[in-house]
Structure 1
């Protein structure tokens, strides 16, 4: 199993309360250093495996990324890159419902009005079409738009 897959499983277990921090320390303590070191980056706030995969990819590229950031009243985002780029990791399970779809668009509009750029990634884009998705994300990162200041 790859380190990334292990991180996805561990973060999911932490988020769902199926694994405690003490249990994680015990688990990591049994692993060889080459696995223990990268897995020490796992977090308990990841809401999905898609979010974990994207965040780890960004961190490996030394992109400043924060998880589960509250940007406005009632608006928490999956990932915030730099100062203004929001990445939401959507799955059909939670975002295909017409009410949730409408709410997602409302939130996107609020964020855009405040100067944030919102990108929504699907499970398929991350796990089935990753090479194409990766190229596009790299192009966007190279422009460094995520480092510009938000409007006053």
Structure 2
């Protein structure tokens, strides 16, 4: 992969738009998508800068900016949503459910998907809170699937299979 950029290289930090465009060239669509959503979530990208990023992408990659949202709480959520979009699964994002709270995703009004990063879900107290929420969701008729970093990054086939199987089960109940 070429790291060449025309002109004189700057001796300070690169502008965020240039860094994001270069990052996509080096790391690919998934990493770019997560970084773009993260930058947007942190309010580091204005509307004009988002437009500049989109314009700087090859035509075939501009859909990534069009799909992006500013509400992903983590790169894991961004990655999960992107991958499910690619296989044709529509998600409702950051859904508030009475008695449960805000969940990462809901599919077909009955399947909750949570992307659990270590930072927000690793401690025993936080794990207990997740289990209480899952029980409350179950009492309301929801099924909850939780996936951690290792599953989402290294075990995508299993994650995808679990989600598809759960969707099949919920469709059969309807």
Q: TM-score range by the shorter chain?
A: 0.7 to 0.9
CA distance in 2, matches of 1:67, 1:45: 8
Q: Secondary structure at the match of 1:64?
A: coil
**Residue-pair matches, total:** 148
Match of 1:50 among 59, 63, 76: 76
1:39 paired to 2:57 = no
Match of 1:13 among 36, 39, 49: 39
Cα separation, 2, equivalents of 1:5 and 1:36: 15
Per-residue CA deviation, residues 121-144 of structure 1 (Å, 9 max, x unaligned), is 001001012223223333333x15
Partner SS, residue 67 of structure 2? coil
Q: Counterpart of 1:103?
A: 129
Q: Which has the larger radius of gyration?
A: 2
Give the alignment partner of residue 112 of structure 2, picking from 57, 76, 86: 86
- Equivalent residues of 2:100, 2:136 under 8 A apart: no
Tell which deviates more after alignment, 53-62 or 121-130.
Answer: 53-62
Provide closer, same or farther for how the CA distance between residues 72 and 39 of structure 1 changes in structure 2, counting only shifts above 3 A.
Answer: same
Q: Which moved more, 1:23-32 or 1:116-125?
A: 23-32
With a CA cutoff of 8 Å and minimum separation of 6, indicate the structure with the bigger relative contact order: 1
- TM (norm. structure 2) is 0.77
TM-score by length of 1: 0.87
Which consecutive unaligned segments of at least 5 residues does structure 2 have? 1-26
Deviations 1:81-119 (A, max 9, x none): 111000010011111122211211111111110000001
| Aligned equivalents of 1:148, 1:67: Cα separation in 2 | 23
Per the alignment, do residues 74 and 111 of structure 1 end up closer, same or farther by CA in structure 2, a change over 3 Å counting? closer
Match of 2:23 in 1: none
Shift of 1:147: 8.0
Q: How does 1:55-70 map to 2 (within 5 A)?
A: 55-70=81-96
* Counterpart position of 1:132: 158
